[in-house]
A and B are shown apart, each in its own frame.
Chain A
Amino acid sequence: MADPHETVQPLLSAYLDGELETERRRLVEAHLAACPVCQETLASLRAADDALATLAPTPAVPPMEHEFRRRLRRRSARSGLAASLVAIFALTAWSLLLELKKVVRHKDMPLWFRLTRALSALLLLASLSGLFRELLRDVRSLAEYAWLSGEKRGGERTHDRYDSL
């Protein structure tokens, strides 16, 4: 005959949850009445249940779809912004090169004047290219801003991290 502990102990959790059918429930109850070891096991299971019941509810996980859409929006915003920056720089560079070409062909103006104008256009092109390079490098972080992530004005950003003082 099997050891009653081996038969009853696996049923204790189900017994505690009221999931046993009548016959098995009576078997467990009969064993519990005479067995202090199983009584102790049942008491520890009940204590664990009570302890779990006192835990704070787990916060709800934000819907994945919302998160996915938000990330998608950011990514497209980043791409759009990067493309806009490149387009702006290309237009500026093009207009500066046109200016340069016009200055070079301005034969009626003194040479020093034409050289100064050409230098001005080249220096502006160099400084703007430096600036646009900086902007493009960090364009990823620009999507943090509210106007890109579709946040309403006056609201709080939830995705920004700040060091506390």
Chain B
Amino acid sequence: MTDTIRYSYTLAPKVAWGWGLMTLSLLLRPLSALALAARGRPLPEKETVQGTVRDTILLAGIFVSPFFTRHELRADRLVLRQGLNFGGSIRYRDIAAVHATERTATGFPLRLYPHTLFLALWPVNLVAIRLRRPQSFRLLHLVPGWKVREVVINVDQRDAFITDLRRRVAAAAEIGEAR
């Protein structure tokens, strides 16, 4: 029960292809400019080396970093990660319900609705986590967001994740009642 289990959200084919293709296409542009500059050729108009370096770092941070992080089920909490874009945790005792959902994460990859925080790279294998009380999360690890009642994430092994999370939440509820 106390083991930490990690669940990936980037290995599902749709996520890997969709997000990967978008990442590649966005990075090709500044990387090609940097390659041009490295060969001593002038950059196209309105493009500078500094701006291109900044764009490369920014795009890599936003688009590549999610491939290196996973969500975690820890002993007492669910840790949600999405590269540099997001990091947060929810205690099991604060979770009211967990269920699969087919709703679309419109504001991909990270979007805050009045009630719902979407944390999905691609709108597939979505899991909705309903909270007992509103909770706020920091976006981009810095910016405080408003309180939400629900968090929607995507994971590759959705059924296993839901079963595991429900078991942990039920166990946390039993411990709470025993106290």
Binding site for B on A (CB under 8 A): 106, 109-110, 113, 116-117, 119-124, 126-128, 130-131, 134-135, 137-139, 141-142, 144-147, 151, 153-154, 157, 162-165
Query: Which residues of B are found within 8 Å of A116, using beta-carbon distances?
Result: 28, 32
Q: A119-B28, A165-B169 are in contact. Are A141 and B98 (CB under 8 A)?
A: no
Q: Does B79 contact A (CB under 8 A)?
A: no
Q: Name the B residues within 8 Å of A151 (CB-CB).
A: 114
CB distance A135 to B29 under 8 Å? no
Which B residue sits closest to A120, measured CB to CB? B28
Q: Which residues of A contact B41 (CB under 8 A)?
A: 109-110, 113
**B22 near A145: Cβ-Cβ < 8 Å:** no
Of chain A, the residue at the smallest CB distance from B162 is A163
What's the Cα separation between A72 and B44 when bound, in Å? 51
**What 1/0 mask marks residues of chain B from 85 to 129 whose CB sits below 8 Å from any chain A CB?**
000000000001111001110101000011110000011100010
Count CB-based A-B contacts (< 8 Å). Answer: 98
Which of chain A's residues have a CB closer than 8 A to the CB of B113?
145-147
Complex contact B97–A162 (CB within 8 A): yes
Q: Is B50 an interface residue (CB 8 A)?
A: no
- Asked whether any CB of chain A lies closer than 8 Å to the CB of B21, the reply is yes
Across-interface contacts of B170 in A (CB, < 8 A): 165
* Tier of interface size on chain B: 35 or more
Residue B24 at the chain A interface, CB threshold 8 Å: yes
When distances are taken between beta carbons in the complex, the residues of chain B under 8 Å from A110 are: 36, 41
A162 surroundings in chain B (CB, below 8 A): 96-97, 99, 128, 130
User: A134-B104, A142-B103, A145-B115 in contact; A120/B25 too (CB < 8 A)?
Assistant: yes
Give CA–CA (A164, B97) in the complex, Å.
6
A144 / chain B contacts, CB cutoff of 8 Å: 103
Given known A121-B25, A124-B25, contact A135–B103 (CB-CB < 8 A): no
